[in-house]
Amino acid sequence: MTSADVQKRTPLTALADRARGFHLGTFWDRWGITAVFVILVIAAIIIQPGVDRGAFLNILNITSLLKEASYLGIVACAMTFAVINGTFDLSVGGQLALTSIVSLLAFGIGGSGLAIAAAIGTGIACGLVNSLLVTAMRVPPFVATLGMLFVFRGIGTLLTADGPAKLPYADFGSVFGQIGKISFGGIPLVFVIMVVFFGVGFVILRRTGLGRQVIAFGSSPAAAKFSGISATKIRFFVFVFLGLSVGIAALTYVTRIGTADGAAQDGFELRVITAAVLGGASLQGGKGSLVGTFSAVMLVTVLNDLFRDLQVDSAWQRIILGCVLVVALAIDGLRTKFPGFSVFRRVTALRDQRMASAG
Amino acid sequence: MKHTKKWLVAAAIATSAAVALTGCTGATTDDGAADSDITVGFSVYDMQYEFFQAMAAGTKEAVEANGWKYVEHDEKSDENEMVTGAIALLDSGIDVLIISPFKPDALGSIVDHAKELGVPVIVDDIGGGGTDYDAIVVSDNKDGGVQAAGYIDETVQALGLTSKKVVSITCQPDAVYAAQRNIGYEDQITSLGYEVATSLSGDSDATKAYTIMKDALAKDPDVSAVFACNDDMAVAASNAIADAGKVPGKDIVVVGYNGDPSALEAIQAGTVNATVAQDPNGMGKLTVELAKTLLDGGKITFGDDENREVYNPVTLVTSDNVADFVK
C-alpha cells in the first residue's frame, strides 16, 4: 500500500518540479556530462600543465587533442545508436584493426583512392557480417559481436603475419597520409569529419522516422513490435551504421598512426562503450544522447591529455578513469532510481510517507 | 522536492570526485623542476619491463646531471598512446625527444611533427621505422655475437671438445637489429675454423628453439656449441641437450643473449655457459650524450652512417662475473 502511494504521488511531484522552471535532474540528463567537461576544461586552463610553451590552451596541444578524439568519437556516435537500441557491438576493436590493415595494404597496391575505398568498404562489410548474424541467424548481439571480435582480429593477424601493415614514411605526404595531418587554423580535418558525422547522426536520430524507430525499439521492443516496427530492419541498420563508422574512424586513425596489426587498439570496444555510457546512454536501451556522447569523448580525451602533461602514473590514470565512470553512473542511478539503490529508495520512500501523513 | 534532495546528494558526490581528481593531479606538478631552459622528453616503450625501467633511469640520471629538465611518457605498449603521447610531449615544448618506440612504423607522424617544430629526435633501441630521425642508439649486437664466438672457441678448447660443428638459433627474420647477433657470431666462429652445421630461426620462441636443438643433435650428435639469439631460447636449447642425454655446459657449450634472470640462474647452475648482457641504463645515458652534441651544434659520430646508428657496448656474462648482474 505504501509503495502504491509513492507511485501515485510521483507524477505530481514531477509536474510540480517542472512547474518551477529549472529541474536539476532534467539538466543533468541533458547537459550533465557537458557541464563536467566544461568544468574540467576550466580546471585545465587554471592548472596550465606543460613545459614552457606548454599551457593547455596552446594551439598545438588543442589540435593534437582534437585529432586524438576523432576516431573514438566517430565510433562512439554510432555506438550510441546501438546502446539506445538496447544492444552494443563488442567487435569494433577488431573491426578497427582489420579495417586499418586492409586500408594500409590497399594503399600499397592502389594508392590513396583505393585505401579510402578499402577502409569504408571493409568497415561496412564487417558491419554487414554482424548484421546478418544478429538478424538472419538470430545470434544474440553480445555473443555474435564477441565472436566476431576474435574473428576480425584473427584475420588481421593473418594479414600481418609478415610484420605490421604500414604507411611508408615517404608516403606521409600523399592524399591518404594528409587525412590525419591537415588542419584548418588549428582545427584538424579528422575533427571536422567527426563533427559532421555527429551532425548526420543527430539528424538521423532526432529528425527521421528511422531514428525514432531506433529509440522506440530500445525503450520497449514489445511495444515497438506491436506498432509495426521491424526489429530486423532496425538491428540491421544499427550494425551496418557501426561498420560504416569504423570505416571512417579507421581513416582518421591509421593516417595518424601509420601502422596496424591484428592486436591494434586492444580494448577499443570498451573505451567506445564507456564514452556512450558516460554520455548518458542507458545499457537497458531507450535512453541516450549524442550531445552527451560527444562531451564524454572530449572529456575522456582531455582527461588523458591532462594525465600525460601532469605525469600521472598509468596505474592512477586507470583508477581515476574507472572512478569517473562509476561516479557518473552512480549519479545516473540515483537519478533514474536504478533498482540497485533500493536502500536509498526505501529511505526516501519512508520520508515521503512521513511527509505525506504529516501534510 | 524529493528529486531536488536526491540531486544535492548526487551533486555532492560529483563535487568530491572533482576535488579528489584535481587534488591528486595537482600534487605531481612540482616534481623534476630544475634551473634550466632545456627540457628533454623521453617516451618509453613500457615501464612494466625491467629493461625499459633501467633505460628510463639512465636517461633521467644523465638529463639531470646536465641540469636539464626531464619529462617522461609511458607508451604502455600501445601504438596510439605512443603517437598521441609523444606528440603531446613535443607540443608541450620539449627541446629534444628521445623515444624507444613500441611500434617503429608508427614513428612517422611523430618525426614529422618534430621536424616541423625543429626538435631533434633520438631513437633508443627497437628500430627507426625508416623515418627521418637524427640518431638511433642500439646495442652493439654484432660485437655481442663476435664476443660470444670468441668465448665459445676458448671454452670448447678448455673443455677439450674436439668437434668443430656449432649451432646458431636466430630470432625472427624481421628483427633486423637482433639478427646482427647471429651474423656477428656466425662470421666470427667460421673464421675461427668452425662449421655452422645448423642455423635456423626460433622466432625468439623457447619451444621452437627446443625443437631446433633436438633436431640439430639428431642430425649431428657431435655438435660442440650453440648460440641462441635470446636467453629463453638458450635455456630451451640447454634443456634439449639434457633431454638428448648430454650434459649442457660440459659436453656442449651454450651461450645466450640479453642477460635475463633465467639465463643468469642457468649460468650459476652451470647449464648455460654465458650470455651477452645489454646495458639499457648505458643506452639511456648515451641518448642524452647525443642530445647534448646536437644541441651544442656538434656532429654525431655514427657507427653506421647510412642508418644513423650509434652502438652501445655489450658485456659477456660468464660464471666469473655473473654475481655482478644478479640482483
Cβ of residue B174 closer than 8 Å to a chain A Cβ: yes
| Residue A1 pLDDT | 37
Q: Mutating which of B9, B37, B78, B84 best tests the A interface, going by the most A Cβ atoms within 10 A?
A: B84
Q: Tell me the mean pLDDT in the region B299-325.
A: 91
* pLDDT tens column, A23-81: 666 777 777 788 888 888 887 777 765 545 455 667 778 888 899 999 999 999 999 99
* Chain A nearest CA to B272, separation (Å): 31
Q: What is the pLDDT of residues B149-185, one digit of tens each?
A: 999 999 999 999 989 999 999 987 777 788 899 999 9
Strands A165-166 and A259-260, sheet pairing: antiparallel
CB neighbours of A291 closer than 8 A, spacing ≥ 6? A30, A31, A34, A202, A279
Q: For residue B238, what pLDDT is reported? A: 95
Name the residue among A271, A48, A186, A165 with its Cα closest to residue B81. A271
Higher pLDDT, A96 or A334: A96
Residue B15 has pLDDT above 70, yes or no: no
Between B316 and A164, the more confident residue is B316
Instruction: Provide the pLDDT for residue A56.
Output: 65
Whole-angstrom Cα distance, residue A146 to residue A156?
A: 16
Q: What is the 3-state secondary structure (H, E, C) of A300-349?
A: HHHHHHHHHHCCCCHHHHHHHHHHHHHHHHHHHHHHHCCHHHHHHHHHHH
Q: Where are the strands (E) in A151-222, listed by range?
A: 165-166, 183-184, 187-188
- For residue A320, list chain B residues with Cβ-Cβ distance below 8 A: 21, 24
The answer to whether residue B2 neighbours chain A at the CB level (below 8 Å) is: yes
Pairing mode of beta strands B165-170, B195-201: parallel
The string of pLDDT tens digits covering residues B206-242 is: 999 999 999 999 999 999 999 999 999 999 999 999 9
User: What was the pLDDT predicted at A57?
Assistant: 63
Residues 6+ apart with CB under 8 A from B277: B258, B259, B314, B315, B316, B317, B325
pLDDT for A233 equals 92
Asked whether the predicted pLDDT for residue B146 surpasses 90, the reply is: yes
pLDDT band at A204 (very low <50, low <70, confident <90, very high): very high
pLDDT of residue B175: 75
* Sequence-ordered list of residues with C-beta below 8 angstroms from that of B48, at least 6 positions apart, any chain: B76, B77
Q: Tell me the Cα Rg of chain B.
A: 24
Say which residues have a Cβ less than 8 Å from residue B128's Cβ, sequence separation at least 6. Answer: B104, B107, B136, B307, B308
Residue A55: what pLDDT?
A: 56
Q: Which residues from chain B sit within 8 angstroms of residue A170, using beta carbons?
A: 130
Q: Which 3 state secondary structure label does DSSP give A136?
A: coil
Say if residue A345's pLDDT is above 80: no
Model pLDDT, residue B246: 93
Among the residue ranges A29-33, A325-329, B184-188, the one predicted with the least confidence is A29-33
pLDDT recorded at residue A353: 61
Contact A257 B79 (CB under 8 A): yes
Decide if B9 contacts A296 (C-beta within 8 A): no
The pLDDT score that the predictor gives to residue A7 is 42
> How far A312 CA sits from the closest chain B CA (Å)?
7
What domains appear along chain A, each with residue ranges and CATH number? 57-317 (1.10.3470)
pLDDT band at B254 (very low <50, low <70, confident <90, very high): very high
Chain-chain contact of A61 with B39 (C-beta, under 8 angstroms): no
Q: What pLDDT, on a 0 to 100 scale, did the predictor assign at position B315?
A: 93
pLDDT tens column, B62-118: 999 999 999 999 998 888 899 999 998 898 889 999 999 998 889 999 999 999 999
| CB-based contact B37 A52, cutoff 8 Å | yes
Q: What DSSP designation does A1 have?
A: -
Task: Report chain B residues whose CB lies below 8 A from the CB of A164.
Answer: 103, 105
Of B25, B80, B88, the CB nearest to A61: B88
pLDDT at B290 over 60: yes
Per-chain mean pLDDT for chain A: 84
Nearest Cβ partner of A172 from B13, B31, B108? B108
Q: CA angle A236-A241-A244, nearest 5°?
A: 130
Please give the pLDDT value at position A161.
84
Q: What is the pLDDT of residue B178?
A: 87
The pLDDT, as a whole number, for residue A241 is 96
Q: Which three cell numbers stand for residue B183?
A: 651474423
Q: What's the CATH code, domain B39-133+280-311?
A: 3.40.50.2300
Amino acid at site A113: G
Best of A169, A255, A300, A316 to disrupt the B interface (most B CBs within 10 Å) is A169
Q: Is B21 on the interface with A (CB under 8 A)?
A: yes
Highest mean pLDDT among A9-13, B6-10, B140-144: B140-144
Phi-psi bin for A285: left (phi > 0), alpha (psi -120 to 50), beta?
A: left
Which residues on A lie below 8 Å from B49 (Cβ)? none
Domain residue extents for chain B: 39-133+280-311, 141-278
In this prediction, residues B269-288 reach a mean pLDDT of 94
Q: pLDDT category, A349, cuts 50, 70, 90?
A: low
pLDDT in the model for residue A284: 85
Res A346: pLDDT:
55
| Spatial separation of the C-alpha atoms in residues B120 and B303, rounded to whole Å | 19
- Give the rounded percent of residues in chain B with a pLDDT score beyond 90: 65
Chain A CB within 8 Å of residue B6 CB: yes
Spatial contact of B158 and B143, defined as CB atoms under 8 Å apart: no
**CB–CB of A52 and B22 under 8 A?**
no
**Top-ranked range on mean pLDDT: pick from A1-10, A168-177, A188-197, B12-21:** A188-197
Do the chains contact at A330 and B94, CB–CB below 8 Å? no
B176/A contact by beta carbon, under 8 A: no
Is residue A273's pLDDT more than 80?
A: yes
The answer to whether A297 touches A74, Cβ cutoff 8 Å, is: no
State yes or no: ipTM above 0.90: no
The three-class DSSP label of residue A2 is helix
Interface probe for A, chosen from B9, B30, B79 (most Cβ of A below 10 Å), is: B79
A335, three cell numbers = 537519478
- Which pTM was predicted? 0.78
Examine domains B39-133+280-311 and B141-278 and report if their fold is the same: yes
How many Cα atoms occupy the beta-carbon half-sphere of B198 within 13 Å? 25
User: What is the C-alpha to C-alpha distance for residues B327 and B318, in angstroms, rounded to an integer?
Assistant: 15
Contacts for A334-337: CB closer than 8 Å, 24+ residues apart: A334/B6, A334/B9, A334/B10, A335/A25, A335/A28, A335/A29, A335/B6, A335/B7, A335/B10, A336/A282
Min mean pLDDT across A303-317, B3-17, B145-159, B252-266 is at B3-17
Give the model confidence (pLDDT) of A137-156 as tens digits.
999 999 999 999 999 999 99
Q: Cell triple for residue B96?
A: 629534444
B141-278 classified as CATH 3.40.50.2300: yes
